[in-house]
Amino acid sequence: MKHERDVFAARPIFLGLAALALTVLLGWAIPTWLQAGLVARRQESLPAANPLSAAFGRKVPPSPRLQVNPDRDIAAYRAAQAARLNGYGWVDRRDGIVHIPIERAMAIVADRVEDTR
């Protein structure tokens, strides 16, 4: 009677592992080599850098560059606008120009319209 052997042949296993290692190595090496070549070609095709950038470099705008708390800023802005809209004050003291609350201004205009009828 014939039966299967309990021992595996080593040569096909080692050849398969070598082929797998070669495939992994080529799968890493070829894209790396292509990327290096393509990056170099891209750098060559880019226009020259601005000559002023070497002399002056990048300038960062003065601080504060960002709003730290935009919700607080808009609330303060709206409060200032509401105070101006609903309060009394001088626009030009020398010429005698003042601002008055919007409700009062609308009442004055309505009275003038009624008086002209």
pLDDT in tens, 42-94: 988 888 777 777 777 777 777 777 888 889 999 999 999 999 999 999 989 99
- What pLDDT does 20 receive? 97
Is 84 a domain residue? yes
In a domain, 62, yes or no: no
Amino acid at 5: R
What is the β-pairing status of strands 97-99 and 89-92?
A: antiparallel
Q: Strand pairing partners for 92?
A: 97
Report the C-alpha gap between 92 and 64 in whole angstroms: 32
Q: How far is CA 29 from CA 17, 22, 25, 32, 33, in A?
A: 18, 10, 6, 5, 6
Domain count, the chain: 2
* Domain ranges, residue 32: 10-46
25 located within any domain: yes
pLDDT at 109: 92
For 38, the token pair is 């393509």
Find all residues with CB under 8 Å of 98, minimum gap 6, and list them: 88, 89, 90, 91
First and final CA of the chain: distance in angstroms? 127
Q: What is the DSSP secondary structure assignment for residue 86, as one 8-state letter?
A: T
Is position 30 within any domain? yes
85 found inside a domain: yes
- Answer whether residue 65 is part of any domain: no
Mean pLDDT score of the chain, rounded to an integer?
A: 87
